[in-house]
């Protein structure tokens, strides 16, 4: 998915809006594979600033299949990455090396630009629900689906002392 930017502009056209959809099943980021549940959308505006010099501004939307950090159930993680980038081939700046990955010889690699933006916005962890109960560490039951009878032996010893005190008082009444 490559676009030659010089072909988009003329004396009268200085602004162009580009919309593309990427049909992909999977993405690989840092050795990890993510399934994609719907086509990736990218929409951005390109403004010509000068010869070989452009400003791009827009957003990328993707839906990745991830897994809840507590219960391991599937979660669709909606990612939206907004970006503003200056494309300029005239600058030979090492800090612009990243730009050369997706813009070179007036050719903008839209797919590379979109995937980089998604990658930067993938959350480290997702939850199916803020109140997800997770999985019982003893029997493996999904505590959102069923309660189990396992003893919770992770009671904080300080709290356990309070519990005993509370039980004694309760008996006296
Ligand atoms: Zn969960
Ligand atoms: Zn259990």
Whether residue 157 is contained in a domain is answered as no
Whether residue 150 is contained in a domain is answered as no
Domain span including residue 112 = 2-121
Whether residue 131 is contained in a domain is answered as no
User: pLDDT by residue for the chain (173 residues), tens digit each?
Assistant: 899 998 998 888 889 999 999 999 999 988 889 999 999 999 999 999 988 889 999 999 999 999 999 999 999 999 999 999 999 887 766 666 778 788 988 899 999 999 999 999 999 999 999 999 999 999 999 999 999 988 765 555 555 555 555 555 555 54
CA 61 – ligand 1 centroid, Å = 23
pTM of the model: 0.77
**Chain mean position to CA 150:** 36
Cα separation, 101 vs 33, in Å, equals 21
Whether residue 154 is contained in a domain is answered as no
- Report the pLDDT value the prediction gives residue 81, as an integer from 0 to 100: 95
Q: How many domains are there within the chain?
A: 1
Whether residue 170 is contained in a domain is answered as no
Cα separation, 115 vs 102, in Å, equals 10
Whether residue 127 is contained in a domain is answered as no
| Tokens standing for residue 109 | 């690699």
CA 126 – ligand 2 centroid, Å = 23
């Amino acid at each position: 998915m490559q676009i030659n930017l010089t072909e988009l502009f003329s004396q009268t056209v200085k602004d162009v809006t580009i919309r593309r959809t990427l049909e992909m099943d999977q993405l690989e980021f840092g050795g990890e594979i993510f399934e994609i549940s719907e086509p990736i959308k990218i929409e951005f505006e390109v403004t010509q600033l000068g010869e070989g010099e452009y400003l791009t501004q827009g957003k990328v939307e993707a839906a990745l299949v991830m897994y809840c950090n507590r219960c391991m159930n599937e979660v669709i993680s909606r990612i939206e990455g907004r970006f503003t980038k200056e494309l300029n081939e005239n600058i030979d700046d090492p800090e612009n090396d990243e730009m050369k990955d997706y813009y070179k010889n007036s050719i903008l690699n839209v797919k590379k630009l979109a995937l980089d933006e998604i990658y930067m916005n993938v959350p480290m962890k997702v939850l199916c629900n803020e109140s997800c109960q997770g999985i019982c560490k003893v029997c493996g039951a999904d505590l959102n689906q069923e309660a189990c009878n396992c003893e919770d032996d992770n009671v904080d010893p300080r709290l356990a002392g309070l519990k005993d005190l509370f039980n004694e008082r309760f008996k006296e009444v």
